[in-house]
């Protein structure tokens, strides 16, 4: 609920890139944005809140906060195989710091521009640092990927590497606290980048339509997220932990057991987790370009998630289910 000065600041931040696509009939500045929905497609809507101290540490750069706030919502659209269109952004800040807001907008628009997302509205309020992004996308109804729909025998796949973001968060906290690290600067930066700048798998999501039978994004870690997909499918999952994709950077950061724990329970990776029937695997492999795709397990009749190591049942040293974060 800002005054004229803040009105101008909002215009600077949110209307920096004019939301002037053919589909944006009214952009920021009125009581609501007015949009033309794409014909023959369905609208996908997702909303996420990021709180300082909960979803990112105090002191995280404004640029990273802006980028990441949009990334987590675009990741949900990717998981539904939707093409991103528009976002509205609410920003709660303790004070109207122009430098901070400029950095936030820079980070937000880097990603928005990369995916052609138009920021069509928002709200700017006083309060603890918090960002909510509501992202809108479109998809043909027959192309949308859901959490349910996979069958017994389908493989469980993930994109990219798991656990890097959780390691990156630890490194970021150490750096913000000024703690020395024995890790190389290159590895530290790579891990922090993986926490601060997750890449929503929009292109992959779109290409999985017709190949994957179920899909979701990994925000809370495999141990928390995969059971959700399993419940939607009404199936049991068996994951061979030795197949989890662990990056070289994570291997430098932690020993094999801790790397496995971070890959299972770390969260914040924003990779896609999806089910693929055997007969679709050749088409899936044709997709795999620079982005690694890994078969980590299989769906079976039953319920629950079973972890194995070397084919035998296995429990992680710390089961790491994060409560209500």
Q: How far is the CB of 317 from a copy of itself (least distance, A)?
A: 19
CA-to-CA distance for 241 and 221, rounded, in angstroms?
14
Burial class (CB in 10 A: 0-12, 13-18, 19+), 216: buried
* Stretch 53-112 residues interacting with a copy of itself (CB under 8 A): 53-55, 76-77, 79-80, 82, 86, 88-90, 92, 96
* Stretch 23-42 residues interacting with a copy of itself (CB under 8 A): 25-26, 29-37, 42
Stretch that binds a copy of itself, among 130-138, 184-192, 236-244, 302-310 (CB under 8 A): 130-138
Contact flag: residue 132 with a copy of itself (CB under 8 A) = yes
* Stretch 202-231 residues interacting with a copy of itself (CB under 8 A): 215-217, 219-220, 224, 227-228
Contact flag: residue 115 with a copy of itself (CB under 8 A) = no
Are 146 and 215 within 8 A, CB to CB? yes
**The binder of a copy of itself chosen from 66, 107, 137, 237 (CB under 8 A):** 137
Strands (E) across 127-184 are located at 130-139, 155-159
Stretch that binds a copy of itself, among 122-130, 162-170, 235-243, 293-301 (CB under 8 A): 122-130
Q: Per-residue x/- mask for a copy of itself, residues 266 to 285, rule CB under 8 A? A: -x------------------
**The binder of a copy of itself chosen from 127, 178, 282, 313 (CB under 8 A):** 127
Q: Pseudo-torsion of CA 224, 226, 231, 237, nearest 10°? A: -120
Contact flag: residue 120 with a copy of itself (CB under 8 A) = yes
Stretch that binds a copy of itself, among 4-12, 167-175, 252-260, 301-309 (CB under 8 A): 4-12
Distance of CA 122 to the CA centre of its chain: 21
Kindly give, in sequence order, each residue whose CB lies less than 8 Å from that of residue 281, ignoring residues fewer than 6 positions away: 155, 295
What is each CA distance from 149 to 133, 211, 233, 289, 302, in whole angstroms?
28, 12, 6, 26, 15
């Amino acid at each position: 609920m800002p005054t004229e000065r803040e009105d101008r600041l909002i215009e600077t931040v949110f209307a920096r890139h004019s939301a002037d696509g053919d589909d944006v009939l009214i952009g920021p500045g009125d009581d609501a944005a007015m949009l033309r929905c794409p014909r023959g497609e369905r609208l996908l809507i997702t909303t996420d809140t990021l709180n300082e101290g909960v979803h990112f540490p105090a002191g995280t750069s404004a640029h990273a906060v802006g980028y990441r706030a949009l990334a987590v919502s675009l990741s949900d659209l990717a998981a539904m195989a939707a093409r991103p269109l528009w976002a509205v952004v609410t920003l709660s800040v303790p004070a109207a710091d122009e430098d901070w807001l400029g950095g936030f907008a820079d980070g937000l628009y880097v990603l928005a521009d990369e995916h052609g997302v138009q920021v069509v509205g928002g709200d700017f309020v006083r309060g603890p640092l918090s960002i909510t992004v509501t992202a809108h996308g479109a998809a043909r109804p027959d192309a949308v990927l859901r959490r349910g729909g996979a069958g017994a025998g389908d493989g469980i796949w993930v994109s990219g590497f798991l656990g890097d973001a959780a390691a990156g968060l630890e490194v970021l906290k150490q750096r913000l606290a000024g703690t020395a690290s024995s890790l190389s600067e290159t590895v530290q930066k790579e891990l922090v980048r993986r926490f601060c700048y997750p890449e929503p798998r929009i292109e992959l999501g779109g290409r999985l339509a017709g190949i994957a039978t179920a899909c979701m994004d990994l925000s809370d870690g495999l141990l928390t997220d995969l059971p959700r997909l399993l419940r939607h499918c009404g199936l049991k999952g068996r994951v061979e932990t030795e197949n989890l994709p662990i990056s070289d950077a994570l291997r430098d950061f932690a020993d094999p057991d801790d790397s496995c724990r971070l890959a299972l329970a770390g969260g914040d990776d924003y990779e896609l987790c999806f089910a693929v029937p055997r007969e679709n695997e050749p088409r899936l492999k044709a997709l795999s370009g620079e982005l690694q795709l890994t078969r980590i397990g299989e769906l079976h009749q039953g319920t629950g998630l079973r972890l194995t190591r070397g084919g035998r049942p296995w429990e992680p040293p710390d089961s790491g289910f994060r409560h209500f974060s």
